[in-house]
Amino acid sequence: MNPYQLILKKRNGGVLSKDEIREFVLGFAQGTGVEDYQMAAWLMAVWYQGMNVEELSALTQAMIDSGDQLDLSCLPGVKVDKHSTGGVGDTTTLILAPLAAAAGATVAKMSGRGLGHTGGTLDKLESVPGLRTGLTGDEFIAQVKKIGCAVISQTGNLVPADGKMYALRDVTATVDSIPLIASSVMSKKLACGADCILLDVKYGRGAFMDTLDNARELARRMVDLGNHMGRRVRAVISDMDQPLGTMIGNALEVREAIEILRNERPGSALETVSVELAAHLLEMAKICPNLEKSRERVRELLVSGAGLKKLAEMFAAQGGDARVCDDVSYLPQAPKTVEVKAPRSGYVTSIHAQKIGLASTALGAGRVKKSDPIDPAVGIIMERRVGDAIEAGQPLAILHTQDKPEAIEEATRLILESIVIGDEKTAPRKLIEEVVE
């Protein structure tokens, strides 16, 4: 293989063979014959020329083969997994994982950390006092065998090619390529070994994909890729123009998940989407015969408290203080609350999710760079959603914060900037726009 020739071929719009892609990707991942600058140039060629389905499968398989794969075959039941392309107030994992497990699905899940304006499930989980996400492979399997679910950080050397390629994409303006995102996400999901994979592709101003068309194409390509590789894969396209949950921040999002599993927020957007995603998982796993029956089953488990009980079991199994499920005051609490007041009366017509995420990061709930520490206690509670009425002076949001005037000022500015109040009541967008399978 001559890297120069493969870069040239892709640059000129040619189609690469499976073997060519494999040698190129493994040559880069293993440091044998493909240099960083050659991979960077090739990524840019892919950004311009795209990839056909065979090329995309070859790329994804080569990325998977650059490292270890998780073998879940020792676990009973149908193994289900869910992946969100990331958002703000997106706490669905903490709600649907225990609900799906309570219904009999096997949830052996690896999650990620937050970066920039988006939160990460691991950071949220670690706000529960004592809770560990760094389980060994053996601990992980033992816990799933015992209680049916675990949510942990990555174990083993999974898809090292992705880490190295992403680092180059990040500094060469090649992150926002649909085939590169699809292969990055799906290589990691496929390496985790689940039978059924549900993708929650977000679109809107808090998401990777800002338009519905782009979200649809990303969803289509990931579903085709997964099916091509022999897994049951489905995608929902859901709204991330305004934050999904009302609470943003780590312990606050755990609190909202607990309140939902206590059935204290019926009909809320986060509950609705979480129940819908859990229902899709049960249908995909053939635990229920159709989506309608799956929804009923999930609702029963939520109302009966079986989902909450499973969440408490999972917290305890991972060393966390499960009393938080009965009394959220055991979660870390910020010392101070500050209201962000509406500057005028009217209807909330839009809320810019990304700016709300950045406001939460400004308070210390998120990271600007990967190595930044986070504060589990701080964040934002949104008091209004799109379509709600408000009077001047009423709170739009409540900051949960340390006594840091500059952070409070910055977060307040971002929130006021992100919320538009108008005279007319506008209809909010659909929570789930469509399903791709």
Query: Taking the complex as a whole, how short is the minimal distance between the CB of residue 345 and ligand URA, in angstroms?
Result: 40
Specify the residue, 3 or 86, whose C-beta has the smaller distance to Ca ion: 86
Give the integer Cα–Cα distance in Å for 295 and 278. Answer: 8
Would you count residue 144 as binding ligand URA (CB under 6 A)? no
Q: Choose, by CB under 6 A, the member of 184, 246, 318, 412 that binds ligand URA.
A: 184
Query: CB-side exposure of 425: number of CA atoms within 13 Å?
Result: 5
Query: Taking the complex as a whole, how short is the minimal distance between the CB of residue 162 and ligand URA, in angstroms?
Result: 7
Query: Taking the complex as a whole, how short is the minimal distance between the CB of residue 405 and ligand URA, in angstroms?
Result: 35
- Residue ranges of alpha helices (H) inside 172-264 are 178-191, 212-228, 250-261
From Ca ion, ligand URA, none, interface partner of 185 (C-beta below 5 to 8 A by class): ligand URA
From Ca ion, ligand URA, none, interface partner of 181 (C-beta below 5 to 8 A by class): ligand URA
Distance of CA 66 to the CA centre of its chain: 24
> Torsions phi, psi of 337, nearest 5?
-120, 145
From ligand URA, Ca ion, none, interface partner of 328 (C-beta below 5 to 8 A by class): none
Specify the residue, 212 or 316, whose C-beta has the smaller distance to ligand URA: 212
Tokens of 293: 């029956």
Among 285, 216, 274, 117, which residue's Cα sits nearest to residue 437? 216
Q: Is 9 exposed, middle or buried (0-12, 13-18, 19+ CB in 10 A)?
A: middle
Do 85 and 197 touch, CB atoms closer than 8 A? no
Query: Taking the complex as a whole, how short is the minimal distance between the CB of residue 321 and Ca ion, in angstroms?
Result: 25
Specify the residue, 185 or 314, whose C-beta has the smaller distance to ligand URA: 185
Q: DSSP string spanning 315-356? A: HHHTT--GGGGT-GGGS---SEEEEEE-SS-EEEEEE-HHHH
Residue entry with tokens 């390629």: 165
Helix axes 92-102, 250-261, angle to 10 degrees: 40
Would you count residue 101 as binding ligand URA (CB under 6 A)? no
Q: Choose, by CB under 6 A, the member of 29, 63, 185, 362 that binds ligand URA.
A: 185
Coil, helix or strand for 382?
Answer: strand
Do 429 and 353 touch, CB atoms closer than 8 A? no
Site for ligand URA in 154-183 (CB under 6 A): 175, 180-181
Query: Taking the complex as a whole, how short is the minimal distance between the CB of residue 377 and Ca ion, in angstroms?
Result: 22
Type of residue at 71: D
String marking each residue 207-246 x if it binds ligand URA according to CB under 6 A: -x--------------------------------------
Type of residue at 381: I
Q: Choose, by CB under 5 A, the member of 112, 163, 193, 428 that binds Ca ion.
A: 112
Give the integer Cα–Cα distance in Å for 174 and 166. Answer: 9
Give the integer Cα–Cα distance in Å for 310 and 305. Answer: 9
Coil, helix or strand for 263?
Answer: coil
Would you count residue 86 as binding Ca ion (CB under 5 A)? yes
- Number of helices (H), then strands (E), in the chain: 16, 13
When CB distances to ligand URA are compared, the closest residue is 184
Specify the residue, 83 or 310, whose C-beta has the smaller distance to ligand URA: 83
Give the integer Cα–Cα distance in Å for 21 and 330. Answer: 51
Interacting span for Ca ion (CB under 5 A) from 104-112, 173-181, 318-326, 411-419: 104-112
From ligand URA, Ca ion, none, interface partner of 190 (C-beta below 5 to 8 A by class): none
Specify the residue, 178 or 279, whose C-beta has the smaller distance to ligand URA: 178
Query: Taking the complex as a whole, how short is the minimal distance between the CB of residue 360 and Ca ion, in angstroms?
Result: 15
Specify the residue, 175 or 291, whose C-beta has the smaller distance to ligand URA: 175
DSSP state of 115: B
Number of residues forming the site for ligand URA (CB under 6 A):
6
Query: Taking the complex as a whole, how short is the minimal distance between the CB of residue 91 and Ca ion, in angstroms?
Result: 11
From ligand URA, Ca ion, none, interface partner of 103 (C-beta below 5 to 8 A by class): none
Specify the residue, 112 or 395, whose C-beta has the smaller distance to Ca ion: 112
Query: Taking the complex as a whole, how short is the minimal distance between the CB of residue 59 and ligand URA, in angstroms?
Result: 12
From ligand URA, Ca ion, none, interface partner of 184 (C-beta below 5 to 8 A by class): ligand URA
Specify the residue, 168 or 390, whose C-beta has the smaller distance to ligand URA: 168
* DSSP H or E stretch at residue 79: strand 79-84
Active-site positions?
83, 162, 169, 184, 188
Coil, helix or strand for 436?
Answer: strand
Given the rule CB under 5 A, which residues bind Ca ion? 86, 112
Given the rule CB under 6 A, which residues bind ligand URA? 175, 180-181, 184-185, 208
